[in-house]
Structure 1
Amino acid sequence: MWPFAGSLTFDPATDIPSLAGKVVLVTGGNNGIGKETVLQLAKHNPAKIFLAARSASKAKDAIASIKSQTSEDVDIEHLPLDLTSLPSIRDAADQVISRADRLDILVLNAGIMAVPPGKTESGQDIQLGTNHVGHFLLTKLLLPHLQRTAEQHNPDVRILAVSSEAWNMAPKLDTILSTEKLTETGPWTRYGASKVANIMFAAELARRYPKLTSVSLHPGVIKTDLYLPSTGANVITKYGLMLLGPLMFQDVKAGALNQLWLAAGAKKEQIVNGAYYTPVGKLRHNKWATDVEAGKRLWEWTEQELKKSGY
């Protein structure tokens, strides 16, 4: 698992216990490590999996592919979700609440990376808005459902925010919390900002709702469709990835291991609430996860951004 030495050995086929009765939601579940996460969890008899994705056709194809590798009887439902649209997020949360009486595992996996500058419908930077603000609202709307699950069905409810070691490229917090300043930075800086936000969000969520297990994670360096925008815009990046990719990248199956371990493989007592993990199951000190004031500021900023749009 270079460069993350010391990771544990984990096989989803044998090390994930039965998920009987449990309900799972994975955003971005139609491809990449999101799809692999749905596939591996589907093999352990969950009551239901919501596969959240924008494209109905891609979701349909993904569900058919997963069922062909598991069982036609497994209950996987497409959950329409556009993380740049607050109404879409609200509708998705309403659908989950109406279609399932519990929610045990929430994997905030979807994201975009190093795309050109732009804004969401509600006015945030497109990367921060998609990767953080959209997931923040989805989680907020589902929190009563998650808490009720912990109280009535299962004390081990988990929320995973998929971050990245790209957090190292993030600017200062004041820039992250200023759409104007953030827009003036480069695509990788904006991506780093969104990944820092994932880390701070999971940590602050754990502080505010300690009965839920909330963590952030780096999945590893994986060759997925996320790299398409950056390779198309930068010739050096494109050919660099062609030359070095085989040495740098894990495949998707390996890339999903960290979130699978955190979602279902690890016992609750093995996980430090609010922490940041690298593959596989490696607890890492992260300054943003432990910065209480920064986490509070991000949370309050996000609430204000949503309030401007009536959410």
Structure 2
Amino acid sequence: MPSNIKSASGSWVRSNVTLTGKTVVITGANTGIGLETAIDLVKRDARVIIACRSLERAGEAKGRVIKETECDDSKIIVKHLDLSSFDSIKQFAADINETEERLDILINNAGVMLCPEGKTKDGFEIQFGVNHLGHFLLTNLLLDLIKRSAPSRIVVVSSGAHKQCGKIRWNDLNMSKNYSAGDAYCQSKLMNVLFVKELAARLEGTNVSAYALHPGVVQTDLWRHLYDGNVSCWRSCLNCCMYPIRKAAFKTAVHGAQTSIYCAIAPELENVSGKYFSDCKITNESNAAKKLDEAKRLWEVSEELTGLSS
């Protein structure tokens, strides 16, 4: 691959690379950066599967994709996926493995942030369960198909917030003691980066690449729980005060989607794997995210918790 290829300028993708004949799965693509990623990849002639918990919202998203890209209806597919349920993940993966001949790009985009304390259908703290375990299980169940489609890519949307977590709480992964929504979120994002480290190591020699990324501070629905008036009135007041600041300083969803798009399409990344990206370039992850023994331990624990090791 020529070393002078540069698919992005600054924090924006400038490449006109097409994805004709490629199939992409994007989780949580009914809104925000997931939806903008879907729109961009359909414009590149990819066939995109939107995997979402709400079929109604996913259908609305499909309508927007068709309107903005003028694509054929067959280019954008909607399927149900609830990442808080192992049963739903298994059903989705079984459907994809049975009906799809190839899967060239998997973008693990969906996530929850700063939500009130709660549990997934399988009993895990919601941010740990959705942001990490859900995507860990989904990726592993689709891995054989992804390998058969090589060269292929797995993109995991993490966050710079992973740097706020110094270590994994191995003795309390569900954070049932002294629960903090912020700590739980940051830990789940650290897990995303560690997951990609170990995934890349295990995929060495398969021609499948894996990337973790920070999309930037983006104005999307992900922030809804921070200002949830049902939790406390001060959060509603905070929302009113913060809105003009967010509007001026935060990235738009289109801008926030750029690094996901870059990792999905950039030719110069063909032989790159296990790296952490921000603003369409490789950047440093935290020291905690560089610990390969922790990445291996997380993989083994996640296999056990999701039932993959049985």
TM-score (norm 2): 0.89
Aligned equivalent of 1:69:
68
Q: Which moved more, 1:297-306 or 1:281-290?
A: 281-290
Question: What amino acid does structure 2 have at the position aligned with 1:196?
Answer: L
Asked whether the 8 Å contact 2:194–2:298 carries over to 1, the reply is yes
Aligned equivalent of 1:169:
164
Aligned equivalent of 1:4:
none
CA shift, 1:176, in A, is: 5.1
- The C-alpha deviation readout for 1:204-232, integer Å capped at 9, x for no partner, is 10011123110100001011111111111
Residues in 1 aligned to 2:158 and 2:170: alpha-carbon distance in whole angstroms: 15
Give the 5 Å matches for 1:64-143.
64-73=63-72, 74-143=74-143
- The C-alpha deviation readout for 1:159-206, integer Å capped at 9, x for no partner, is 011001111222522x15623545523111100011001000011100
Residues in 1 aligned to 2:253 and 2:86: alpha-carbon distance in whole angstroms: 29
* Secondary structure, aligned partner of 1:15: coil
Aligned equivalent of 1:261:
262
CA shift, 1:275, in A, is: 1.1
TM-score (norm 1): 0.88
* Secondary structure, aligned partner of 2:227: helix
CA shift, 1:86, in A, is: 0.5
Establish whether residue 220 from structure 1 lines up as the match of residue 216 from structure 2: yes
Residues in 2 aligned to 1:290 and 1:250: alpha-carbon distance in whole angstroms: 27
Residues in 2 aligned to 1:138 and 1:177: alpha-carbon distance in whole angstroms: 25
Residue 178 of structure 2, aligned match among 150, 164, 184: 184
Asked whether the 8 Å contact 2:132–2:191 carries over to 1, the reply is yes
- What residue ranges of structure 1 are gaps of 5+ in the alignment? 1-6
Residues in 1 aligned to 2:100 and 2:37: alpha-carbon distance in whole angstroms: 20
Asked whether the 8 Å contact 1:176–1:193 carries over to 2, the reply is no
- The C-alpha deviation readout for 1:252-294, integer Å capped at 9, x for no partner, is 110100110111134234x631111111224324324421100
Percent identical pairs in the alignment equals 34
Question: What amino acid does structure 2 have at the position aligned with 1:190?
Answer: A
Aligned equivalent of 1:207:
201
CA shift, 1:240, in A, is: 4.6
Question: What amino acid does structure 2 have at the position aligned with 1:215?
Answer: Y
- Structure 1 outlier segments of 4+, above 4 Å: none
Residues in 2 aligned to 1:172 and 1:258: alpha-carbon distance in whole angstroms: 26
Asked whether the 8 Å contact 1:276–1:286 carries over to 2, the reply is no
Q: Residues 252 and 9 from structure 1, CA distance in 2 versus in 1: closer, same or farther, beyond 3 angstroms?
A: same
> CA RMSD of the aligned region, Å?
2.1
Q: Residues 124 and 22 from structure 1, CA distance in 2 versus in 1: closer, same or farther, beyond 3 angstroms?
A: same
CA shift, 1:98, in A, is: 1.9
Residues in 1 aligned to 2:177 and 2:261: alpha-carbon distance in whole angstroms: 34
Higher share of residues assigned helix: 1
Asked whether the 8 Å contact 2:218–2:256 carries over to 1, the reply is yes
Q: Residues 176 and 16 from structure 1, CA distance in 2 versus in 1: closer, same or farther, beyond 3 angstroms?
A: farther
Residues in 1 aligned to 2:113 and 2:170: alpha-carbon distance in whole angstroms: 16
Q: Residues 176 and 75 from structure 1, CA distance in 2 versus in 1: closer, same or farther, beyond 3 angstroms?
A: farther
- What residue ranges of structure 2 are gaps of 5+ in the alignment? 1-7
Instruction: Tell me the matched-pair count.
Output: 295
